[in-house]
Amino acid sequence: MQKEAKEFFNTRFHEQPVNGSALAGFRQQGLDMFNKLGIPAVKHEEWKYTRVNALFNNDLTYNLDASGISKAELDSFRLPQTANATSLVLVNGVYSPELSDIKHSVKDLLVLPLETAAAGEYGAIVKKHLGHSAAYHPDGIHALNTAFTHGGIFILGKSNRVITEPVYIYHITDSRSGFAFAQPRILAYAEQQCELQLVEYYGTIGNEGSFTNEVIEIVAEAASVLDYYKIQHEGPHANHVGTTHVRQLGKCLTNAVTISLSGGLIRNNLNMIMESERGESHMYGLYLLNGKTHVDNHTIVDNVQPNCFSNELYKGIMDEKSTGVFNGKIFVRQDAQKTNAYQSNKNILLGDASSVNTKPQLEIFADDVKCSHGCTIGRLDEEALFYLRTRGISEKNAQSLMLHAFAVDILENIKPQALKVFVDHIISERLDFNF
Amino acid sequence: MYEENENILDQVTSSEYKYGFVSHFETDDAPKGLSEDTVRFISARKNEPAWMLEYRLKAYRHWLTMQEPTWPNVSYPAINYQDIIYYSAPKQKIKANSLDEIDPELRRTFEKLGISLQEQKRLSGVAVDAVIDSISVTTTFKDELGKQGIIFCSMSEAIQEHPELVRKHLGSVVPPTDNFFSALNAAVFSDGSFCYIPEGVRCPMELSTYFRINAANTGQFERTLIVAEPGSYVSYLEGCTAPMRDENQLHAAVVELIALERAEIKYSTVQNWYPGDKEGRGGIYNFVTKRGICAGDYAKISWTQVETGSSITWKYPSVILKGDYSNGEFYSVAVTNNFQQADTGTKMIHLGKNTRSRIVSKGISAGRSNNSYRGLVQVARHASKARNFSQCDSLLLGDKCGAHTFPYIEVKNNTAIVEHEATTSKIGEDQIFYCNQRGIDTETAVALIINGFAKEVMNQLPMEFAVEAQKLLAISLEGSVG
């Protein structure tokens, strides 16, 4: 399998359209790394609980043509009440300017194909920041995305602008003609004192199954405020490996919310690199799973500079045969004194055949720090359930009330109202919550 | 104020190893290096039955196919397994009937160690089996224990006198194929302790083993096996020291505990192997496999360890909770200083129903050391109503050391309740200030806080050991702490 996949991608690599020669070297590096590292197997510590190599057993169709989707088909995926918002559409991992709709003024926001940005005025920024995440993910999957960087997007939030409307990024995969494989690549850059919100949403057309291997790198300059949302709500055949890599280059605030509601095999990597003093970051995650969905959240908080604050809360409810994985790493480098880093992971197992694997991890090289992590795995408190029942609430309602309350902790951190209502609606429906 | 604290911490963290003397007595060594001949030499020297030799050779052949593990969070130059003497015995007849017949040099060694083999031990009620360089030298109180049917003797004696018991249990918890170091140990182990508590017997005294590596270039590979029959109880202590040497020495032991229905085993370790000097030269590589099985319902195994020595520690005392309602505990204090590296923790494998486990781990790092907690809590699909609580706290003294936590939690049953919490911090300036305010000087305050930090674990140690462990904690971090 390993060998076949290698051959397949090496062949495809030489076939891909090389219109942006500015990224040719970058891609070649990616291919070299991929050939060196290969597809991670279960023996790979970072992929211990997620058998990603099995996905490569599928007969992959790697279609880089973005024209197969109509506007009407796209509309069926649109999040409600976002008609007036900017939407960027990637089809099979390739940016489609025709389907995209940029409502923001160019004074606020600039969107360019990644190749164009690399060759033009922003070439220096792209060169400096694209690929920074590779050091944190020495595995073939990440390298594979780099090797096939094609049709990516460059998003620039202009300095001193408060951009109130979020930017919605839709990833549409077309699996009507076979198991679809897509590799989107995005670089977002928030200039000084810019406020920017990004929302990523995923959809698959067709029933053949899909595999999206995404890398998004986000750079936040001093005094910027950056909110990032990732909402996963796809069919059971949609698989996903995504890396979100956030760098804080100045004292700024970054928030990330990852919501996984359904899908096949999902792996979310979220990195917060605190490269400036006094940075602050918040990371929230909710995974509400049923069926055979497998969700693996890997987070890294790397405290490079002193006086940073980070807080992390991930919550999961596993029903039926689903599996939840959480691996949270906090690194505190030797110079990063006075770091405060907190991490918490809470899980409820509902299904008889559900399981959870969690590994909260601290690696600390500075002494003057306050770091903690906690994790719990359990079931609903029987006394609380009993209390609700004594008040005349049926067992079923009591349970959904408690589960909803458990999930709301995370939901409250979604700032765009429309998005929050949308997610809450799905969760309430799933939990049979109608109060 | 801050600088003053730094100074005190400096003093606190720069003391010397106090057990670093070498005893000179003639030894009977195996030739350097490892081959089937070495294994046969050891087996022949110990006059072992054929099945034992077969067991060793099988383990050795398997070892040849294995790779040294690289996953622990420690780094050290590659070990040359051909440069080690695998068998070193003090060279006099050890069939001593009374203590007077023992080599006076050897006795002086024990006196220096502070373990007395004399009658005074009767007062504290500790039976001692002392192992120097792989060979069990003496076991006290054997007769008294024998009256109750308790067997407490060296492993080689057990192989001769109770072969059926040894054969039944040896390798049943830690099979030779388990890992690289357990395979090595199974091939070349030279001695250790064997302990058997018959059904319904509560062992009247603490059993204790003292290990010491004395000769240069030797490795110590001891093997401990404790079997507690239904309804029995035993508390077992283990202590270790080694002389100061420039080169590194290897210690790869295996400990197996078997607790049957309603039996309880309490195993305490105070590990103080030579940790190397301030520049990180020398010291013991302590690569140990310890595992217990609660084979019957309501069985209980409790591990307590105080780890202050060794240049590298690689050790995960584990409990397999097979019986329903069985109980596993792990209490640990690991102190690292200078260039020491520790990667230690536990595994709790919940297989039976209504099983419980508790983990309390305290790590203290100073100097340039690295201290890691690595643990696994696993709840199998059918282990309903399992309960686990884990807590691992780290204290950092100095800005060049590291503290790491790698807890793995794998739950496959929806009735399980598992909790884990960990914190990392240094001694707060506010805490020291509060003590100063009450007239306690900074140095005493640091000592006080460290002792308080480790107290939860220290309380689990048997009385005689708690005193020694507290002293050790003090010595490891400085003379005056404690």
pLDDT digits (tens, 9 = 90+) for A366-377: 888 889 999 999
Q: Could you count the other beta carbons within 10 Å of the beta carbon of residue B471?
A: 15
Per-residue pLDDT at B482 = 29
Average pLDDT over residues A344-353: 93
Q: Model confidence at A2, in pLDDT bands (50, 70, 90)?
A: low
Provide mean pLDDT across the span B84-105.
57
- Does A374 contact B421 at a Cβ distance shorter than 8 Å? yes
DSSP state of B295: -
Residue B213 has a pLDDT of: 62
C-alpha pair distances (Å), B124 with each of A357, B99, B359: 46, 18, 29
pLDDT tens, B204-235?
888 877 766 655 556 678 899 999 999 999 99
C-alpha atoms less than 13 angstroms from C-alpha of B311 in its C-beta half-sphere: 24
Q: What is the pLDDT of residue B16?
A: 58
Task: Please tell me what DSSP assigns to residue B101.
Answer: G
Contacts of A368 in chain B (CB under 8 A): 399, 426
- Kindly indicate the confidence band of residue B82, based on its pLDDT and cuts at 50, 70 and 90: confident
* Nearest one of B83, B85, B99, B82 to B45, comparing CA atoms: B85
| Set of chain B residues whose Cβ sits within 8 Å of the Cβ of A373 | 405, 420-422
Chain B nearest-CA distance from A75, in A, is 40
- Report chain A's C-alpha Rg in angstroms: 21
Q: Closest Cα partner for A180 from A154, A206, A146?
A: A206
Angle CA B377–B389–A287, to nearest 5: 70
pLDDT digits (tens, 9 = 90+) for B183-209: 999 998 888 889 999 999 998 888 877
Contact status, residue B324 vs residue B354, Cβ threshold 8 Å: yes
Side-chain half-sphere CA neighbours of B53 within 13 A = 15
pLDDT of residue B121: 44
Residue owning tokens 């048997």:
B462
Q: Which among A45, A374, A379 has the least Cβ separation from residue B414?
A: A379
Contact A359 B71 (CB under 8 A): no
Give the lowest-confidence range in A223-237, A275-289, B201-215: B201-215
Q: How far is CA A127 from CA A109, A120, A148, A218, B31, in A?
A: 20, 11, 16, 14, 61
Q: Is A363 touching B (CB cutoff 8 A)?
A: yes
Q: What is the mean pLDDT of chain B?
A: 81
Once rounded to an integer, what is the mean pLDDT over residues B438-450? 86
What's the pLDDT at B119?
A: 38
Helices within B75-179 (DSSP H only): 104-113, 120-124, 142-147, 155-161, 163-169
Give the minimum alpha-carbon distance from B331 to chain A in angstroms, rounded to a whole number. 19
- What does DSSP assign to residue B34? -
Residue carrying structure tokens 């087996």:
B43
> Which segment of A46-55, B217-226, B287-296 scores lowest on mean pLDDT?
B217-226
Is the ipTM of this structure higher than 0.85? yes
Could you read off the pLDDT of A80-104 as tens digits, one per residue? 888 888 999 999 999 999 999 999 9
pLDDT at site A302:
96
- Of B271, B198, B276, residue with least CA distance to B232: B198
**Beta strands at A210-220 and A109-113: parallel, antiparallel or unpaired:** unpaired
CA distance B367 to B337: 5
Closest by Cβ to B426, choosing from A351, A367, A378? A367
What pLDDT was estimated at residue B74?
84
Tokens of A133: 């995440």
Q: Averaged over A31-36, what is the pLDDT?
A: 93
Is residue B299's pLDDT more than 90? Answer: yes
Nearest CA in chain A to B397: A367
The SS3 of residue B70 is coil
Three-class DSSP labels, chain A:
CHHHHHHHHHHHHHHCCCCCHHHHHHHHHHHHHHHHHCCCCCCCHHHCCCCHHHHHHCCEECCCCCCCCCHHHHHCCCCCCCCCCEEEEEECCEECCCCCECCCCCCCEEEEEHHHHHHCCCHHHHHHHCCHHHHHCCCHHHHHHHHCCCCCEEEEECCCCECCCCEEEEEEEECCCCEEEECCEEEEEECCCCEEEEEEEEEEECCCCEEEEEEEEEEECCCCEEEEEEEEECCCCEEEEEEEEEEECCCCEEEEEEEEEECCEEEEEEEEEECCCCCEEEEEEEEEECCCCEEEEEEEEEECCCCCEEEEEEEEEECCCCEEEEEEEEEECCCCCCCEEEEEEEEEECCCCCEEEEEEEEEECCCCCEEEEEEEEECCCHHHHHHHHHCCCCHHHHHHHHHHHHHHHHHCCCCCHHHHHHHHHHHHHHCCCCC
Provide the pLDDT for residue B448.
83
What is the distance between the alpha carbons of residues B128 and B140, in angstroms, rounded to a whole number?
5
- Average pLDDT of span B461-473: 74
- Report pTM: 0.87
**pLDDT of A326 higher than 80:** yes
Do B403 and A374 count as a contact with CB atoms less than 8 A apart?
no
Which of B406, B411, B413, B415 should one mutate to test binding to chain A, selecting the residue with the greatest count of A CBs within 10 A? Answer: B411
Query: How many helices (H) and strands (E) would you count in chain B?
Result: 12, 24
Residues of chain A positioned with their CB less than 8 A from the CB of B398: 367
Beta bridge partners of B88: B29
Using CB atoms within 10 A of its CB, is residue B44 exposed (0-12), middle (13-18) or buried (19+)? exposed
Give the highest mean pLDDT range of A206-220, B31-45, B436-450, B456-470. A206-220
B211: Cβ–Cβ under 8 A, 6 or more apart, which residues?
B131, B132, B220, B222, B238, B239, B240, B241, B253
User: Using the beta-carbon criterion (under 8 Å), do B408 and A364 form an inter-chain contact?
Assistant: no
Stretch B54-66: mean pLDDT, rounded?
93
Confidence of residue B480 (pLDDT cuts 50, 70, 90): very low
Q: How far apart are CA B98 and CA B78, in angstroms?
A: 44
Cross-chain residue pair A371–B404, CB shorter than 8 Å: no
Q: Are strands A86-91 and A94-95 parallel, antiparallel or unpaired?
A: antiparallel
- Range name among B100-114, B152-166, B288-302 with the lowest pLDDT average: B100-114
Burial class, A131, CB count within 10 angstroms (exposed 0-12 / middle 13-18 / buried 19+): buried
| Binary contact (B414, A371; C-beta < 8 A) | no
Q: State the smallest CA–CA distance between residue B72 and chain A in angstroms.
A: 12
What pairs with residue A26 in β-bridges?
none
CA neighbor of B141 nearest in space, from B155, B124, B157, B158 = B124
Position with higher pLDDT, B318 vs B277: B318
Helices B442-458 and B463-477: crossing angle in degrees, nearest 10, is 140
In whole angstroms, what is the distance from residue B171 CA to residue B256 CA?
Answer: 8
Instruction: Report CB contact under 8 Å: B399, A372.
Output: no
Determine the average pLDDT of the residues in A148-163: 94
Q: Identity (one letter) of the amino acid at A90? A: L
- % residues pLDDT > 90 (chain B): 40
Burial A191-220 (b: 16+ CB within 10 A, else e): bbbbbbbbbbbbbbbbebbbbbbbbbbbbb
Query: Residue B92 has what pLDDT?
Result: 46
Cross-strand bridge partners of residue B292: B257, B319
Contacts of A418 (CB under 8 A, 6+ apart): A79, A80, A81, A82
Mean pLDDT of A114-122: 92
Per-residue pLDDT tens over the stretch B348-383: 999 999 999 999 999 998 888 899 999 999 999 999
The average pLDDT across A382-405 equals 93
What is the rounded distance in angstroms from the CA atom of residue B259 to the CA atom of residue B242?
A: 31
Chain B residues touching residue A362 (CB < 8 angstroms): 394, 403-405, 422, 424
Q: Of chain A residues 285-344, which have a CB less than 8 A from chain B?
A: 334, 337
Q: Read off the pLDDT band of B1 (50, 70, 90).
A: very low
Cβ atoms B306, B337 nearer than 8 A? no
10 Å CB burial of residue B98 (0-12, 13-18, 19+) is exposed
Question: For residue range A131-154, what is the model confidence (pLDDT) as tens digits?
Answer: 999 999 999 999 999 999 988 999
Q: What is the pLDDT of residue B123?
A: 36
Query: DSSP code of B46?
Result: T
Interface membership of A71 toward B (CB under 8 Å): no
Q: What gap in Å lies between CA A36 and CA A30, rounded to an integer? A: 10
What ranges do the domains of chain B cover?
A: 2-477
